C-alpha cells in the first residue's frame, strides 16, 4: 500500500498543491489557478525528471517542515529558498535548483522564501491526489482542487503513490532576479483617469500592500483620480489586469482572481513579467512602464526562450 509519505510537522503559511492550472471554466466563475511562478514550477519538475504538468507543492514565505517515510526518493526545490535537510544527526544546508535525495526518516525543513514569495517542491514520482476539472491546483477560497481545496495543515500526511526509481543528478545555475519596473499595456478604461492620475500611474512608485495573496496584489501609493466613473459594468478579467477602485489604489489580479470585475482597468501586466511580479513581497516598491502590444509579444517570446533555454540546460 502507501508506504511512502511525508508527515507534516509544520505546514507553513500557505502550502498548496499546484500544477499548470485549469482552463475553460471562467464562464462559471472558476479561475485558472495553477503555480503562481510558472518558470520555477517548470524547473522543479524538470529537475526531478517529471512531466511538465505534474503536481508540486507550492509554498509562500515560510514553507513546510516535512518528515519523510519510505523508499529513497529524488526531490528538488526551486525559487529563492532557504531550507535544511536533517539526516540523522547531520543537518545539511539545502541548495535550490538541484536534484536531492531523501531517505527514510529524513527531515526537510523549508524555512523561508527569503526576499521572494513563492517556492516549489517537486518529488520524482506522483503524489496521491484527487483532481478536479483535470487539475490538482488548489484554490483555497473556492475550496477547489486537491486536499479538499484546503492548504496543507499540521500533522497531516501526504501520501506518494509512485516513486520514479531512475534517480537523477541534475543541477542548474540560476539566480532569480527581482523586478522593479513592471511593464504594462494600457487597459480598456485608461481614459477614465485624469491626466494627473495617468502620470502618477506611470511615474510614481507604488508599494505592495500586506493585503496580497494568490487572488490579487493590492498596491498603495498616490491616489489615481478617476474622472469618468469609478465603476464599470461587470465584465471578464484575466490575470495581470490592474483595476483601480474608487479609493485610487491599484489592485493587480493574480492566478486565483475573480473571473468578473467591475472596477475600471487602467492597465494589464505583460505576460513576460508575470512570474516576477508574483514574487514581490509586501513592502516592495514597484513602478509601471508602458509598452505596446507588439513589444509585449516580443518580450514574451524572449521570456519563453529564456525559460526553454534553462530547461534545456537541466
Partner 1 sequence: MIKNISNLGDAALYCDFGKEVNKDINTQVIKYFKTIQKKNIAGVNNITPSYNKLIISFDLKKINFNKLKKAIDNLEIIKGDSIQNKRFEIPVCCEKEFSLDIKRLEEKLKMKEEKIYESFFEKEFFCYMTGFIAGMPFLGDLDENLRAKRLDTPRVKVPKGSIGLTEQFANIYTFESPGGWNIIGNTPLNIFDSTKEKEPNLINPGDLVTFKRISKEKYQNYHE
- Residues of this chain that bind partner 1 (CB under 8 A): 23-30, 32, 132-133, 141-144, 149, 185, 187-188, 211, 215-216, 230-231, 233-238, 240-241, 245-247, 249, 258-263, 265, 268-271, 293, 296-297, 300, 304
**Nearest distance, CB of residue 242 and partner 1, angstroms:** 10
Nearest-5° angle of CA 244, CA 247, CA 249? Answer: 50
Q: Exposed (0-12), middle (13-18) or buried (19+): which is 234, by Cβ within 10 Å?
A: exposed
**Nearest distance, CB of residue 295 and partner 1, angstroms:** 9
Give which of 160, 161, 159, 155 is closest to 8, Cα–Cα: 155
**Nearest distance, CB of residue 183 and partner 1, angstroms:** 10
Among all chains, which residue has been given the C-alpha cell 535548483?
97
**Nearest distance, CB of residue 150 and partner 1, angstroms:** 12
**Nearest distance, CB of residue 80 and partner 1, angstroms:** 26
Q: Is 193 in contact with 275 (CB distance < 8 Å)?
A: no
Q: Kindly tell me which of 92 and 246 has the beta carbon lying closer to partner 1.
A: 246
Q: Kindly tell me which of 108 and 254 has the beta carbon lying closer to partner 1.
A: 254
**Nearest distance, CB of residue 207 and partner 1, angstroms:** 16
**Nearest distance, CB of residue 284 and partner 1, angstroms:** 20
Q: Is 59 in contact with 119 (CB distance < 8 Å)?
A: yes
> Distance of CA 275 to CAs 35, 79, 196, Å?
10, 11, 30
- Distance of alpha carbon 50 from alpha carbon 27, whole angstroms: 31
Q: Kindly tell me which of 28 and 175 has the beta carbon lying closer to partner 1.
A: 28
Residues forming beta bridges with residue 139, ordered by sequence position: 144
Residues 6+ apart with CB under 8 A from 12: 59, 60, 61, 62, 63, 64, 65, 110, 152
**Nearest distance, CB of residue 103 and partner 1, angstroms:** 38
- Helices 293-313 and 38-47: crossing angle in degrees, nearest 10, is 20
Q: Kindly tell me which of 20 and 123 has the beta carbon lying closer to partner 1.
A: 20
Among all chains, which residue has been given the C-alpha cell 487572488?
215
Q: Kindly tell me which of 77 and 217 has the beta carbon lying closer to partner 1.
A: 217
- Distance of alpha carbon 264 from alpha carbon 244, whole angstroms: 6
Q: Kindly tell me which of 51 and 173 has the beta carbon lying closer to partner 1.
A: 51
- Distance of alpha carbon 212 from alpha carbon 301, whole angstroms: 28
Q: Kindly tell me which of 118 and 263 has the beta carbon lying closer to partner 1.
A: 263
Q: Kindly tell me which of 159 and 307 has the beta carbon lying closer to partner 1.
A: 307
Amino acid at each position: 500500500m502507501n508506504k511512502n509519505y511525508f508527515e507534516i510537522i509544520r505546514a507553513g503559511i500557505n502550502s498548496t498543491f499546484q500544477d499548470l492550472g485549469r482552463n475553460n471554466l471562467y464562464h462559471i466563475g472558476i479561475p485558472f489557478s495553477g503555480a503562481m511562478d510558472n518558470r520555477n514550477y517548470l524547473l522543479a519538475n524538470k529537475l526531478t525528471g517529471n512531466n511538465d504538468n505534474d503536481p508540486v507543492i507550492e509554498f509562500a514565505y515560510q514553507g513546510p517542515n516535512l518528515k519523510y517515510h519510505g523508499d529513497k526518493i529524488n526531490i528538488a526545490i526551486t525559487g529563492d529558498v532557504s531550507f535544511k535537510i536533517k539526516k540523522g544527526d547531520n543537518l545539511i544546508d539545502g541548495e535550490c535548483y538541484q536534484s536531492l535525495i531523501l531517505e527514510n526518516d529524513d527531515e526537510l525543513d523549508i524555512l523561508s522564501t527569503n526576499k521572494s514569495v513563492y517556492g516549489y517542491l517537486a518529488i520524482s514520482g506522483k503524489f496521491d491526489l484527487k483532481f478536479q476539472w483535470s487539475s490538482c491546483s488548489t484554490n483555497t477560497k473556492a475550496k477547489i482542487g486537491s486536499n479538499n481545496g484546503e492548504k496543507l495543515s499540521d500533522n497531516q500526511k501526504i501520501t506518494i503513490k509512485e516513486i520514479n526509481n531512475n534517480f537523477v543528478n541534475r543541477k542548474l545555475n540560476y539566480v532569480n532576479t527581482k523586478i522593479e519596473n513592471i511593464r504594462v499595456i494600457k487597459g480598456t478604461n485608461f481614459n477614465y483617469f485624469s491626466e494627473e492620475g495617468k502620470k502618477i500611474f506611470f511615474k510614481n512608485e507604488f508599494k505592495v500592500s500586506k493585503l496580497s495573496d494568490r487572488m490579487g496584489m493590492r498596491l498603495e501609493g498616490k491616489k489615481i483620480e478617476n474622472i469618468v466613473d469609478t465603476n464599470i459594468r461587470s465584465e471578464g478579467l484575466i490575470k495581470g489586469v490592474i483595476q483601480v477602485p474608487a479609493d485610487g489604489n491599484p489592485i493587480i489580479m493574480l492566478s486565483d482572481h475573480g473571473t468578473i470585475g467591475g472596477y475600471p482597468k487602467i492597465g494589464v501586466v505583460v505576460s513576460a513579467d508575470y512570474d516576477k511580479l508574483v514574487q514581490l513581497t509586501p513592502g516592495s516598491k514597484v513602478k509601471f512602464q508602458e509598452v505596446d502590444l507588439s513589444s509585449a509579444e516580443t518580450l514574451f517570446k524572449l521570456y519563453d526562450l529564456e525559460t526553454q533555454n534553462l530547461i534545456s540546460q537541466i
